[in-house]
A and B are shown apart, each in its own frame.
Chain A
């Protein structure tokens, strides 16, 4: 190739890469990136639905602020003053206080409405109790209790209530409502119009925010604002936050930090290795190639999908890093004396390596997990572009080294040029067998955890504060199963919810086992039905008998003649048949908002224990209420785990088939194929087995890392096998070593990552790539040493 032609080709190559990169960069701002986590879930029946449902019923627009004395003491006055100050500082565009207090007048009005609705809260079964209560003995007991209550200190301030409700029917209703409310197990009590814990050591503020959980800039602004409000509080008071937004911020911060640290470390490692070992500034091109390949890969793959996951971009960019290996091979041989011949020799193994890696990512494109499909497409394009850049473009930019390249390599020349002695070879083979056996043994102790929350890198302090807040303010439904009924309107959904509640109780569950809105907020139809039942129960004869019993019993106990003057008009109201809608009880509204969810349709939730017996009962009830959705968190977790396991098996099998097809069709020699695959098997085996030593389960992120290990190690195997065949093992070994060392050092930094997913990736990569490399270096060499004759034949260039 003449110098002028080479120079022109170099210019054209440079121009093409520049144009492709610029076009891709120009496209980036228009790419539809999203931070949705559900793209990580398999598109299998039920899973996406349940996940969306869980997401919809969660509260992501609330911020809970717990104000406490720093010294743990109790000072309700100071805490209330601090709460007032905190609220006054809030920027309402970011957060505003939820109405946890009510106007006194409103409450009085609410209670009037509630008392008038007594028949609507009286179930058919309770009419029997009414019958007993309105008998002569029932009335005598009620009045006797009233007298006793009025004598006690508790009754000192309840004279007025007794006058309007001498039989304590309203009191019973209020107690019933309160009993149901307090049965939810929450500990907040009212103090000076605020919510505090019973010990008055902590004060709870509930804020609402229009900032969406996934709106990262908005979340940053919100949290910064709330922190600034907290800083302005008296020094004795601290404010701690609990909100879903902290998970977003925590993940973002930790990933940003980990990626920054990793990137700096990787660049440093590359710089030290390339510039330190080769002392050639052009080795920087090698580092550039994966980055340059990622740009068109991202732009092109984003065209295929409607939305592209930001999470995939993060993982994809890391995966694209493995394509540096092609550039390393091209760089190393381009510096040799016989570069043209050597470049031709490495084309086949490097292309085959790329094809096998490509096979893995093409297998990803058939996954039922959208993120994996995106990842497969992105990585496949990145691999192809990298290959083209490395084999066609890069050599134009790398001149032949002035010194013999092998003399500048970091490795012992003697070892790399000579095969092992038979004794050492057998020792290495024996050691390899032991290592494989040990790896397989470790797999027996390995578990798979399909919980996607493993991808949650929320800082421990945030989780600890959530736990503290749950302990402090109560609530324990994190382990509850959710039952949900769905209907086009709220009234229809509430009617179904009433049916569900009745059915659950009828099926054997106790009322305390069912956290339902039904007893507190029945549907209008149920209310009307109960009112009718009430009215029909109170026949004129019953009314007369009741009045006579009251007159007789009260006279005996020396009640005055007009003792019941406030009660009888109310009793008449209860028996009215007007079919008007019930007046809303405003203090129940916040509770309704938590149980009723509107999103095109309306669904009402109920919480029950997440145990097989209760779920079996719910399953039976579902036969009568087809729209009932049963969401068991435990079952969902198992379903996810199983789906991920199936996915791993599917992708692995498919990738295996593709790899075998590619290697068999290309290499066609069974011995070479087996040896080429050996490092990949070792890498994947130890990539997984290493997790046992860290006491961790395999998770979704290990799948991605495992695939990277497979792709990298199979490359080492293929390259070394071809190197032995073509007699260029010295150059190829040097390149493979460089690839492995850079990958292990780069991935090693991930072991310092705080994010659990990145840490898992680090463990799998470091252990897997190290095992694969050692296998390619030592085991393959030992096998070739033992088959010296064949190896010697294979060393001759073809």
Chain B
């Protein structure tokens, strides 16, 4: 019955989508207001190649969890997150596609972000924080510029949002030349902290095609 089939399918689709929306609202958060100063600082950056050390201090563990790796960035859509120790792992995001390589299984998983809304929300966050797309964050966070030698911004989740129950604050400290992040810290309500320190950062250097390849 053509009278209703199209409408019916869509309406049921909407019902499903509403449910998905509800599930994802915990993870996905976008922003509208521009954060010009930071964006200006990053606007000249076309590529980034940097090493990082991630230190997680969690009540879950007796000792801090140290992870080392490298990040490759090509604005605006390409990001590679490579973990080199103590495990091997690579995440490559390129537009609407993502690939995950696991060093333990030696297998690569392809992910179409359009079909994986949870993963899409996560990658959106990664791109927002590390590719300088701060504009999308200003709706959910109160942003304050901290005093100090280096340019540092503090992002405090707005209290009415669910993430406020988990995250206390996120701070982003820029290099002296303001070109890229030097330190990224997450402080959770439980007291757990995550600290990402970037070093050997190369901006606007040519990144060899081979470096974008997964093992």
Rounded to whole angstroms, the CA-CA distance of A253 and B194 in the bound complex is 64
Contacts of B148 in A (CB 8 A): none
Instruction: Check B6–A587 contact: CB distance below 8 A.
Output: no
Q: How large is the interface on B (under 10, 10 to 19, 20 to 34, 35 or more residues)?
A: 35 or more
Residues from chain B with a CB closer than 8 A to the CB of A57 are: 8
Docked-complex contact B114 and A187, CB < 8 angstroms: yes
B136 to chain A, nearest CB (A): 9
B25: contacting residue among A58, A190, A467, CB under 8 A: A190
For window 8-27 of B, CB contacts with A under 8 Å fall at 8-26
Shortest beta-carbon distance from A558 to chain B in Å: 5
Please determine whether B22 and A163 come into contact, CB atoms closer than 8 angstroms: no
Cross-interface CB contact of A100 among B4, B14, B61, B192, cutoff 8 Å: B14
Chain A residue nearest to B129 (CB atoms) is: A156
B2 touches A62 (CB 8 A): no
Closest to B68 in A: A151
Closest to B166 in A: A160
Establish whether residues A152 and B12, one from each chain, have CB atoms under 8 Å apart when the complex forms.
Answer: no
Residues of B contacting A467 with CB < 8 Å? 6
Stretch of B115-123, B171-179, B198-206 at the chain-chain interface: B115-123
**With A and B bound together, what is the CA distance between A101 and B14 in angstroms?**
11
Nearest A residue to B118 by beta-carbon distance?
A: A178
Q: Which of A104, A151, A178 contacts B161 (CB 8 A)?
A: A104
Encode contact with B along A168-188: 1 for CB under 8 Å, 0 otherwise.
000000100110011011111
**Distance (whole angstroms) from the CB of A162 to the closest CB of chain B:** 6
Taking a contact as CB atoms under 8 Å apart, the answer to whether A150 and B65 are in contact is yes
Q: Answer yes or no: A189 CB below 8 A from chain B CBs.
A: yes
CA distance A384 to B6 in the complex (A): 45
B11 to chain A: which residues have CB within 8 Å? 59, 62, 64, 206, 594
Contacts of A590 in B (CB 8 A): 14-15, 18-19
Tell whether, in the assembled complex, residue A558 and residue B63 are in contact, meaning their CB atoms are under 8 Å apart. yes
B7–A190 contact, CB under 8 A? no
Residue of A with least CB distance to B104: A148
Is the Cβ of A594 less than 8 Å from the Cβ of B65?
no
Shortest distance in angstroms between A553's beta carbon and chain B's nearest beta carbon? 14
With A102-B25, A198-B114, A206-B14: A242-B6 Cβ-Cβ less than 8 Å: yes
- Bound-state CA distance A177–B12 (Å) is 16
A59 touches B4 (CB 8 A): yes
A390 on the interface (CB 8 Å rule)?
A: no
**Total contacts A-B at CB 8 Å:** 257
- Chain B 89-116 interface residues, beta-carbon cutoff 8 Å to A: 89, 91, 96, 104, 113-115
* Complex contact B22–A160 (CB within 8 A): no
Q: In the complex, which of the residues B62, B89, B167 contacts A559, with contact meaning CB atoms closer than 8 Å? A: B62
**Which bracket fits the contact residues of A?**
35 or more
Q: With A153-B126, A184-B16 known to touch, is A102 a contact of B54 (CB < 8 Å)? A: no
Tell whether A191 is near chain B: CB-to-CB under 8 Å.
Answer: yes
Q: Which A residues touch B59, using CB under 8 A?
A: 163, 560, 562-563
Is A54's beta carbon under 8 Å from chain B?
yes
Given the known interface contacts A181-B20, A188-B17, A190-B24, the answer about A60 and B9 at a Cβ–Cβ threshold of 8 Å is: no
Please name all residues of chain B whose beta carbon is closer than 8 Å to the beta carbon of A193 when the two chains form the complex. Answer: 25
Q: Which of A105-113, A290-298, A498-506 contacts B (4 or more CB under 8 A)?
A: A105-113
B176-213 residues at the A interface, CB under 8 angstroms: 186, 188-190, 192, 194
Q: State the Cβ distance, B103 to closest chain A Cβ, in Å.
A: 10
- Which residues on the A side are within 8 Å of B4 (C-beta)? 54-55, 58-60, 244, 247
Does A181 lie within 8 Å of B23, measured CB to CB? yes
B39 contacts chain A at the CB level, 8 A cutoff = no
Residue A49 CB within 8 A of the other chain: no
A560 and B61: CB pair below 8 A?
Answer: yes
Find out whether the CB atom of A153 lies under 8 angstroms from the CB atom of B26. no
Q: A2 an interface residue at 8 Å Cβ cutoff?
A: no
**8 Å CB contact of B119 from A80, A154, A156, A243:** A154
B46 at the interface (CB under 8 A from A): no
Q: Return chain A residues, CB-CB under 8 Å to B58.
A: 150, 159, 162-163
Cβ–Cβ contact A563 & B61, under 8 A: yes
Q: Are A159 and B7 in contact (CB under 8 A)?
A: no
Whether the Cβ atoms of A587 and B186 lie closer than 8 Å is no
Contact surface of B with A, Cβ cutoff 8 Å: 1-26, 28, 30, 32, 54, 56, 58-63, 65, 67, 81, 83, 87, 89, 91, 96, 104, 113-115, 117-120, 122, 125-126, 139, 160-163, 165-167, 186, 188-190, 192, 194
Q: Which 3 A-B pairs have the closest CB atoms?
A: A587-B22, A466-B6, A198-B114
Question: Which A positions have Cβ atoms within 8 angstroms of B?
Answer: 37, 54-55, 57-60, 62, 64, 76-77, 80, 98-102, 104-105, 107-108, 110-111, 147-148, 150-154, 156-157, 159-163, 166, 174, 177-178, 181-182, 184-193, 195, 198-199, 204, 206, 242-244, 247, 452-453, 456, 458, 463, 466-467, 469-470, 473-478, 558-560, 562-563, 586-588, 590-591, 593-594, 633
Ordered by A's residue number, 16 sampled pairs between the chains whose C-beta atoms are within 8 Å are A59-B7, A98-B18, A102-B25, A107-B23, A110-B22, A148-B104, A150-B56, A181-B16, A182-B115, A192-B32, A247-B2, A456-B2, A473-B17, A475-B12, A560-B60, A591-B19
